[in-house]
Amino acid sequence: MPFKSLCPRSFFSISRPRLKHILANSLFLPQRPTSPSQPQKHPHVSAILPAQTVVFDVEGWLLRSSSPFPYFLLVALECCSIFRALILLLSYPLLLCLEHEAATRMMVMLCFCGVRKQRWFRAGRTVLPRLFLKDVGEEGFDVLRMTERRVAVTGMPRVMVESFLKDYLDVQVVVGKEEEEEKEEELRDIVNGGEVLGFGLHGREFPIKFFPNIKEVYRVTDAEKRNWHHLPMEKCPKPLIFHDGRIAFQPTFTASIAMFVWFPFGVILSILRSILCILLPYSICIPVSALTGLVGRLVQTNHQSTSEVGFRPASGRLYICNHRTLLDPIYISVALNRPVTAVVYSVSPISEFLSPIKTARLTRNREEDRCRMAKLLKQGDLVVCPEGTTCREPFLLRFSPLFAELADRVTPVALSTEVSMFYGTTTSGFKWLDSFYFLMNPRPSCVVQFLNEMPTVSENGRWSSPCEVANHIQREIGRALDFTCTKLTRKDKYQILAGNDGVLN
């Protein structure tokens, strides 16, 4: 995409109609309609025929918010630097004074100038889909799924939206404003002489010239879109299981201002929480950490005669948990009020050094790992995350069956975490910062739920292999958390998000 095509002739030229529009929509003046004409009424889904082609404006019609500013700010934060994101944030008042197309071009320049193209594709494939899915209107999606031929037109660079639209909404063609003429022949081929229905935003130009057979153009207003419902995740053709990036909220202007204000306090608070966890005993650390905003909750659901909490068995117990953050074994240790050993795989040496509990690094040699884990289990309690990697969404990855060969009985532990500002996991960033980012949240929370102890060997031979034991425990943890079990593995996650096997050198 040539850089010249991204730059307008003048970013700072404000048209007289635009200036009148800004003044008319001031907080202190009554708002008036910019045009007396009314948009075409949105059709009912039953009026859409499968043979028709739907051409829609991504920002103007599909997404509930017509402003692309949050998406560009997310790109600046994840693919560039916090300083470039700050520059974009400070430019927001100027962007409000520009026409929509000029403002979009200016945001493209601020975000992508000097950035390698590989980072553009990474943001569009791994970071932005989560934000886009949360902003899709259910009413608009209901129209899309009634037809088999869908064409998307966007004012943003195509690399930002193409992966999301094709992978999650089954859109056939995505056209960026910078390449409308280049896609003209492809657009006419997909229409193939059939009827075309257009969907856009009232008051914004629609590319009718490429669709001679267009039957009707339906337009919605910003007020109507704000009343649309969020798209339920179960309606998506493809579930969002993996995504990357540190930002856990929609970076609107006000939310981003709050994040930048909080950031220095969050860094100090994260370091303080880490020091408290490393130096203080659990009896003191728990109440003091609660005063700093850390939220932890223990759910006791097992019905054994001996309670898990505070109980010290003669030999080590094996705890099997799902993997949400790097701090999962620490939360289990705090809930048990006794030290445990955690087995890790491809964890940063810095994270191992700062860990308040003992860690043991595994290799990719199955027999060697089994012998090492069996030795650790004889020495004390052992925590194993058989998924091998974290998963942010309510899904469970496939459980490795190796733990089923170590003990006759295991204790499943269901973990759920919540964050409001930063994710404590990443596949492409600095992994040693994962725990610090999690602790930078104002009120990070974790719920630890001990399930009933389960045998790995059944007398009636119901579970004939370690794989069946692993699948059974995965289903029990998924049932306790209301998570969906999958057959995806650690390797699948890293291939999707980072293009590698997830081995830390």
287 or 118, higher pLDDT: 287
Q: Are residues 360 and 436 in the same domain?
A: yes
Co-location of 46 and 138 in the same domain: yes
CA atoms within 13 A on the CB side of 139: 14
**Alpha-carbon span 19 to 14, nearest angstrom:** 7
What's the structural domain count of the chain?
A: 2
- Determine the average pLDDT of the residues in 201-208: 76
Return the bridge partners of 424, or none.
none
Residue 274 within a domain = no
pLDDT for 114: 80
Mean pLDDT of the chain: 82
Q: 191 in a domain, yes or no?
A: yes
pLDDT at 211: 66
Identify any residues that bridge with 383 across adjacent strands, giving them in sequence order.
Answer: 319, 342
Two structure tokens written together for 299: 């759910």
Residue 308 counted as domain residue: yes
Give yes or no: residues 220 and 299 share one domain: no
At position 207, the amino acid (one-letter code) is P
Residue type at position 312: R
The C-alpha atoms of residue 369 and residue 372 are separated, in whole angstroms, by 5
CA–CA distance, 392 with 426 (Å, rounded to integer): 10
Confidence of residue 30 (pLDDT cuts 50, 70, 90): very low
> Does any domain span residue 503?
no
- Do 324 and 442 belong to one domain? yes
Q: Are residues 207 and 326 in the same domain?
A: no
Does residue 60 carry a pLDDT above 50? yes
Q: What is the pTM of this model?
A: 0.84
378 and 311 co-located in one domain? yes
Return the pLDDT at 346.
Answer: 76
Mean pLDDT of 433-445: 95
- Whether the predicted pLDDT of 342 surpasses 80: yes
251 vs 18, residue with greater confidence: 251
Residue 256 is assigned to a structural domain of this protein: no
Whether residues 330 and 412 share a domain: the answer is yes
How much is the pLDDT for 121? Answer: 77
Q: Say if residue 428 is in the same domain as residue 338.
A: yes
Mean pLDDT score, 398-423: 93
More confident residue, 28 or 438: 438
- pLDDT tens-digit map of 153-197: 888 888 899 999 999 998 988 887 666 556 666 666 666 666 788
- Give me the CATH number covering residue 479: 3.40.1130
371 & 453 share domain: yes
User: Is 258 contained in some domain?
Assistant: no
pLDDT of res. 226: 85
Statement to judge: residues 207 and 306 lie in one domain: no
Of 50-54, 81-85, 351-355, 479-483, give the lowest mean pLDDT range.
Answer: 50-54
Domain around 309: 279-497
Asked if the structure places residue 40 within a domain, the reply is yes
Whether 17 is in a domain gets the answer: no
Regarding whether 418 and 320 lie in a shared domain, the answer is yes
